[in-house]
Amino acid sequence: MTPVLLLAAEKESAQVTDWAARIGWVVGLALFVALVYWLMREGWKWRGTLQGDLPELPTAPGDPGPERLSLSGRYHGSTTAGQWLDRIVAQGLGTRSRAELTLTDAGLDVVRPGATDFFVPAAQLREARLDKGIAGKVLTEGGLLVVTWEHGDRLIDSGFRSDHAAEHNEWVEAINSMIETNTREGAER
């Protein structure tokens, strides 16, 4: 017989897979991934504990007045003002979500389905600007509306992205003119 026919005639073939080793690797990898997620969760909870002195978020007044502007988009998070990587997670401010923003004479109302809504009184607004990033989200230059506001003894930057980015400039102008008006009226008193 030829050597090729002898090989084909053999009934026993080599073992293809070592199932015990494969299962061991898969279980080990799953445990490692679970450990990493658990550590990330604990870090998030620890950050919330460290920021536990942040007061409750204000809610919108019953009659905020007529609507100046409204925006539909995403809330990307809040950070300590001027420190775009120092995310604030206390009071639900770390939760990214869809957002509906409404600017009235009373202030800025942020409605977030599935997350904590909050209201920034007009007297607490400090600045609005266009920026390119906030903790964990980087966009093109001017792709993010950042509103700086005071809460308790902290200055907070909150980042929003409209579904229609062309609206950002109008929001910056409206909020900054509102702040100038409030500052001027406060100085006259």
- What is the per-residue pLDDT across 127-167, written as a single tens digit (0 to 9) for each? 999 988 787 777 777 788 999 999 888 899 999 999 988 88
What is the reported pLDDT for 24?
A: 92
Whether pLDDT at 14 is above 70: no
- Tell me if 125 sits within 8 A of 87, measured CB to CB: no
Between 57 and 26, whose confidence is greater?
26
Q: What is the mean pLDDT of residues 103-127?
A: 91
On the CB side of 161, CA atoms within 13 Å amount to 18
What's the pLDDT tens digit per position in 42-101?
988 887 777 777 888 888 888 878 889 999 999 998 888 888 788 888 888 888 899 999
Q: Residues 7-20: what's their mean pLDDT?
A: 67
What pLDDT score does 183 carry?
Answer: 77
Give me the pLDDT at residue 98, please. Answer: 94
More confident residue, 41 or 187: 41
What's the pLDDT score for residue 16?
65
> Averaged over 173-183, what is the pLDDT?
87
pLDDT of res. 154: 87
The pLDDT, as a whole number, for residue 141 is 77
Burial category of 85 from C-beta neighbours within 10 Å (exposed 0-12, middle 13-18, buried 19 and up): exposed
pLDDT value of residue 37: 95
pLDDT at 32: 97
Q: Indicate yes or no: pTM above 0.85.
A: no
Distance CA 130, CA 151 (A): 21
Closest CA to 94 of 79, 109, 111: 79
CA 177 to chain centre: 26
Got the DSSP string for the chain? --HHHHHHH---------HHHHHHHHHHHHHHHHHHHHHHHHHHHHHHHHTTTSPPPP---S---SEEEEEEEEEEEEEETT-TT-EE-GGGTT--EEEEEEEETTEEEEE-TTS--EEEEGGGEEEEEEESEETTEE-STT-EEEEEEEETTEEEEEEEEESSGGGHHHHHHHHHHHHHHHHHHHHH-
Contacts of 112 (CB under 8 A, 6+ apart): 75, 95, 97, 98, 99, 100
Cα Rg, the chain, nearest whole Å:
27
φ, ψ dihedrals at 184, nearest 5°: -65, -45
Pairing of strands 67-80, 154-162: antiparallel
Confidence check: pLDDT of 7 > 60: no
